[in-house]
Amino acid sequence: MTETLFLTSEEVAGLAEPAEYVAAVRDAYRQIGEGAPAEPRTKLVNEEPPGFLTTYAAVLPETGAVGGYTYSAGFGERDAWFMTPLFDAESGEPLALLDGASMNPFKTGAAGAVGVDALAREDARSVAVIGSGAQARGQLTATATVREVETVWVYSPTKEHRESFAGDMNQALDASVAAVASAAAAVEDADVVITATNASEPVFDGADLEPGAHVTAMGQYDPSKRELDHETIERATYVPDLRARALHDAGSFLSALDAGVVDEDHVHAELGEVVAGVEPGRTSADEVTVFDSGGTGIETVAAAHLLYEKAVDAGLGEPIEFAPASEALTGE
């Protein structure tokens, strides 16, 4: 039998700081850019009751971890459960099983911040946030670790939500955070634009982007949904988390592709290739860049391993046992 650590969402909540997530995720993308394997999500949809099962995975040999996410959403309970198995990259043995719910905004936010760090101008100081939920908070908090954010404008359709977001983030960050009444007002003059929504249609007009702006879009991992319009995709140096995902479920890119606005060669590089220096990122101050972050096993495995190591140091978790196949199948 192999002893494995089970970690609850409550145990891993607060174990790591945003900057630690960003450092772990940046290194993970570097490994992928240098050839480590990762696959985009698979999504199995159930019609009745409506729900889906999603999985994705990555191997991070230098981190020493293999794993990914498996989660269900919808079905009869109309909720979601995030299970994160983590294996040792050397032996293959299971290291941990994490309830991944509480780490979700932090690891996704870290991926967005790595995109900002790799593609936004070094002097970027102003941020527009479209969305006001947990993912928007995670994105902004992580972004503030890679740029000296001075001004933030947030828009979401519900006035109370955007004002609550602005009030909370004003206290959390060393920046001026204000709610605005439209997406156009948020995007105007913004150096970095973050979209964190579940919208099916574009959430701002690409014509409103300032020259030199960077966009991180993280709510478009469904072929039928798109946060970004055709103009944004066409204008931008387009960088997805994984090249294969751009043609699989990146709704904004697929819509622009179907409309004939761009072709497949419009994919400039994967984020890992830019982080690893295999491909260039931004090449001019006026260039518009997009990081399309649909969620991968890359940030998941990196974050899970970070939390696992911290949990071991803190004496957290419940040991559980797994039988290796050689033992379970033979009884020996």
Residue of 30 and 2 predicted with greater confidence:
30
Residue of 97 and 77 predicted with greater confidence:
97
Instruction: List, by residue range, all CATH 3.30.1780.10 domains of the chain.
Output: 2-104+297-330
Q: What is the pLDDT of residue 223?
A: 85
Instruction: List, by residue range, all CATH 3.40.50.720 domains of the chain.
Output: 107-292
Q: What percent of the chain has pLDDT over 90?
A: 91
Strands 2-7 and 214-217: unpaired
Half-sphere exposure of residue 131: CA atoms within 13 angstroms, side-chain side? 23
CATH topology of domain 2-104+297-330: ornithine cyclodeaminase, domain 1 (3.30.1780)
Strand order in the sheet with 176-179: 176-179, 151-155, 126-130, 192-195, 214-217, 289-292, 237-240
Which CATH number fits the domain 107-292, given the four candidates 3.40.50.1820, 3.40.50.300, 3.40.50.720, 3.40.50.1860? Answer: 3.40.50.720
Between CA 298 and CA 293 the distance in angstroms is: 11
Q: What is the pLDDT of residues 234-249, one digit of tens each?
A: 999 999 999 999 998 9
Whether pLDDT at 331 is above 70: no
